[in-house]
């Protein structure tokens, strides 16, 4: 029996596109009030139009690497709605020049500050309200690269996405007595706009065989609709036609 999300408040970082937007749409259609945050006002506005056609939603500008701004957004949501039931940490990035022979320390810092520090800032900002509620779901979008390090994704992305698994388990170990549970969501190749930033973007035919954003949205909805007594610690999702198994790619790509 699926649990309706009416009355639930969900915060989705990186909610303007890709996996974040797909998850936000699925949650809004299921009755949740969805707050998306992202760094780009134009992307946020476009996403909000789609979300408001699907359900109840709002959008706010946020760079998750700014810890003070993260805290301000969390308090804004709590002031407006009195609660945060679901946090989807989907904001993420990778360096274009990403391998050790070309990766700069500035690029390393940028990836770490978004993919790991920013994710932690968001988790840290919602834990007090979730503790007081005695309930809360945190979905941290990691990557197949979090399990299988890859030259294609590079050391900064590999390291941060592997760290997400450890952080999620730390949440479960320390916060389960408060009714808080965390899932690491680990997708393989997903047909989202970040693919166009690869040195050789996959063809449209290849992308059609990948996991689609709507599939990720359905996975996020599945997690959100599980009863509070259930913690799905990790959920790995990959294309049936998995190019890493078939030798088409050396190792897994980034998720967004």
Q: How far apart are CA 190 and CA 82, in angstroms?
A: 34
* pTM of the full structure: 0.94
Q: What are phi and psi of 57, to 5 degrees?
A: -155, 160
| pLDDT score, position 149 | 92
Active-site hit among 121, 148, 157, 241: 157
Q: Does the active-site annotation cover 241?
A: no
- The rounded distance, in Å, linking the Cα atoms of 78 and 58 is 14
Q: What is the pLDDT of residue 91?
A: 97
What is the structure's pLDDT at 251?
Answer: 46
Task: Please give the pLDDT value at position 101.
Answer: 95
Look at residue 244 in the predicted model and tell me its pLDDT: 83
45 three-class SS: helix
In order along the chain (256 residues), what is the average pLDDT of each group of 10 residues?
Answer: 83 98 98 98 98 98 98 98 98 92 97 98 98 98 95 94 98 98 97 78 92 98 97 97 79 48
User: b/e string for 21-50 if b means 16 or more Cβ within 10 A?
Assistant: bbbbbbbbbbebbbbbbbbeeebbeebbee
């Amino acid at each position: 029996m699926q649990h309706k999300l009416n009355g639930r408040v969900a915060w989705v970082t990186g909610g303007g596109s890709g996996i974040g937007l797909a998850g936000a749409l699925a949650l809004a259609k299921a009755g949740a009030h969805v707050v998306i945050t992202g760094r780009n006002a134009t992307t946020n506005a476009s996403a909000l139009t789609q979300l408001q056609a699907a359900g109840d939603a709002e959008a706010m500008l946020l760079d998750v690497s700014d810890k003070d701004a993260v805290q301000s957004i969390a308090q804004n949501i709590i002031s407006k709605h009195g609660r945060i039931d679901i946090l989807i940490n989907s904001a993420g990035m990778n360096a274009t020049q990403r391998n050790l022979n070309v990766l700069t320390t500035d690029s390393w810092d940028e990836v770490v500050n978004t993919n790991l520090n920013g994710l932690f800032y968001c988790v840290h900002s919602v834990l007090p309200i979730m503790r007081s509620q005695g309930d809360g779901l945190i979905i941290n979008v990691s990557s197949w690269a979090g399990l299988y390090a890859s030259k294609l994704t590079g050391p900064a992305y590999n390291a941060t996405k592997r760290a997400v698994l450890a952080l999620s388990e730390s949440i479960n170990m320390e916060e389960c007595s408060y009714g808080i549970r965390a899932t690491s969501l680990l997708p393989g190749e997903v047909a989202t706009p970040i693919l166009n930033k690869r040195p050789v973007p996959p063809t449209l035919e290849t992308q059609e065989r990948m996991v689609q954003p709507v599939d990720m949205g359905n996975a996020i909805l599945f997690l959100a609709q599980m009863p509070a007594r259930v913690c799905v610690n990790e959920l790995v999702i990959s294309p049936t036609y998995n190019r890493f198994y078939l030798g088409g790619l050396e190792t897994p790509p980034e998720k967004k």
